[in-house]
Amino acid sequence: MANRRLTQRLIDTLTPGKSVRETRDTELRGFGVRILPSGRKSYFVHAQSGGRRTWTKVGDADTMPLADARDLARSSLAASRTGDQSRLSEIAAETPFEDVADAVFRRQSRQWKPGTLEVNRNYLKNQILPRFLGQPIGAITGADVQEWFASLRSTPAAADRAAPVLSVIMREAETLGFRPEGTNPCVKIRRYRRRGRERFLSREETRRLGTVLKLHEGHVLAAAVKLLALTGCRKSEIMTLQWQDYRDGHLFLPDSKTGPRTVWLSSAARAVLDDLPRRSVWVFPGRAGTGPAKGLNIYWLALRKEAGLRDVRLHDLRHSYASLALQAGETVPTIGRLLGHSKPETTLKYIHLADQAVRDAVDAVAPILGGEGRP
């Protein structure tokens, strides 16, 4: 962020960078111009009102003369200083949805993990912006949101994941002063919530997987799949694992989904790790050795086909681990610790036990997978 006296010539010469750039006006405090990586420029006002900091778009710098923008900025700042909430709210509510979304994502980037940020940006781009681009943030109603959500019924999974992203934007819009408090139009959304998608492996299915994994012994991705099944870890936790994270028979994960956590390893899981060569800082390195291996999802598709597990996802190995642990007599809180859950209700979602599975899946995970373990 730079502080300079804004002139039309200066604004015309501003160039975009890899991230949002802001230049604050030294003539009118609180007024400035920002340029997006796309090259789009807009005037803005930062103001303090009622103990809250607000950001308001004044206009597009490519079409609005600087003098007009500065006049509008003065009006907005004056409304903030005099407590003219009606005028201030009116100005804020006229801000385009996408500008508020951009401000919210910049704020959330300090809280969301990089992977979550990337996924949420995709939902914003593909599901949310096509409907709300250019619409004033204050004009979006509950009916608008319900209509949007209904339009995504053909892709219920994407709709269910995009809805919380939109809700965060609307909630933060209230915090930033773009909407009145208590007006989140997403609160009455009823998600589609697909039923019965999660599954776990039966004893026979797990044996088949273990047999196929033996045939692939020596393949780095086969070892990754086996470790996923033996630990119940998330794919991201295993694929980004570094050797420094493995010591004293444990995995020390510094940046898991729910924060730092320790994974206790069985002798079979330790055997998988001990058999791997240490030719990189990564436990499962890519071909160049400079980053983690890629292509696990594609590899899994071939592996599961070979094992006759056509409808099983990698994440279902995590479900299976939780179910087998429960059958072995572990309590829900203990299983929650094994899986790295921060809330017990999250653990309960993983406990899917069919009658036949309860009768069949009585052995421990390691023997089923053919892991003999080591003393």
Residue type, 16: P
Residue 224 has pLDDT above 50, yes or no: yes
User: Collapsing DSSP states into helix, strand and coil, what is residue 34?
Assistant: strand
Residue range 243-271, pLDDT digits in tens: 999 999 889 988 776 678 788 888 888 99
What is the average per-residue pLDDT within 352-373? Answer: 47
Model pTM score: 0.54
Q: What is the pLDDT of residue 146?
A: 95
User: Collapsing DSSP states into helix, strand and coil, what is residue 133?
Assistant: coil
**Closest by Cα among 11, 12, 15 to 25:** 11
Select the CATH number that applies to the domain covering 203-368 from these four: 3.40.50.970, 1.10.443.10, 3.40.630.30, 3.40.50.10470. Answer: 1.10.443.10
Residue range 284-333, pLDDT digits in tens: 998 877 889 999 999 999 999 999 998 888 888 887 766 665 555 555 55
Residue 83 has pLDDT above 60, yes or no: no
Residue range 50-73, pLDDT digits in tens: 566 667 777 788 877 888 788 878
> 2-93: which CATH topology?
Double Stranded RNA Binding Domain (3.30.160)
Measure the CA angle with vertex 363, ends 359 and 368; round to 5°: 120
Parse the chain into domains and list their residue ranges: 2-93, 100-175, 203-368
